[in-house]
Amino acid sequence: MDPGFEVNRRWEEHSVAEVTPAGVYFKQREWYAYLDENKREWEYSRFVDLTLRKNSIDKANRRRLEDEGKFIESYWRHLPRAFQARLKVFGFVHFESMLIIDEKGDPACADSHIFIDFNEKYGPFEGFKADLEQSHQLLDNGGGIR
């Protein structure tokens, strides 16, 4: 992989999470989180990106498969279940921002490709929303793009 790829990406792999009348939400990241509902406190770590991908997009995503990531997972799993949570981040793209949709992909990746201009601030996305989940239940819906 190009050494400058993490600084200046020109492609990323994301799965579709939701299609709306205006555009598409793609799952961008998933992080381990800690939530104490009684104290109304929560925190998350960006050290390991849990998002499953065929091609890791950066160090945080590669770590989920390496010893460091397995150590962090073990630490998180040893938290009381009542405090275990995950933060899921979704990036939004309007349909009119999609330049080309190639449903066949290419020889290296047969999945569909959507070509979008990247911007300096958000990469391929125009905005984000985030969901905090605990025991597979949505706790905080970030709503809309921001």
Q: Identify the pLDDT of residue 98.
A: 85
What span, in angstroms and rounded, lies between the C-alpha atoms of 54 and 119? 24
* Number of domains forming the structure of the chain: 1
Q: Identify the pLDDT of residue 81.
A: 93
* Residue 107 counted as domain residue: yes
Q: Which residues contact 64 (CB under 8 A, 6 or more apart)?
A: 48, 49, 50, 73
**What is the SS3 assignment for 46?**
strand
What span, in angstroms and rounded, lies between the C-alpha atoms of 139 and 121? 28
* Residue 3 counted as domain residue: no
Q: Identify the pLDDT of residue 139.
A: 66
Which tens digit of pLDDT belongs to each residue from 124-136? 899 999 999 987 6
- Strands (DSSP E) found in 22-136: 23-36, 41-49, 84-94, 98-102, 113-116, 127-134
* Residue 71 counted as domain residue: yes
The average confidence (pLDDT) of the chain is 82
* Residue 23 counted as domain residue: yes
Say what the pTM is: 0.78
* Residue 9 counted as domain residue: no
Residue range 40-54: mean pLDDT, rounded: 87
pLDDT over 70 percentage in the chain: 84
Handedness of CA 119, 22, 143, 31 (dihedral sign): negative
Pairing label, strands 84-94, 41-49: unpaired
What span, in angstroms and rounded, lies between the C-alpha atoms of 116 and 29? 18
Which tens digit of pLDDT belongs to each residue from 63-121? 877 888 888 899 899 999 999 999 999 999 999 988 878 777 677 776 777 888 888 88
Instruction: Report residue 140's pLDDT band, with 50, 70 and 90 as the boundaries.
Output: low
Q: Give the domain range for residue 58.
A: 15-141
Inform me whether the pLDDT recorded for 45 exceeds 70. Answer: yes
Start-to-end Cα distance in the chain: 31
Between residues 60 and 40, which one has the greater pLDDT?
40
Inform me whether the pLDDT recorded for 19 exceeds 70. Answer: yes
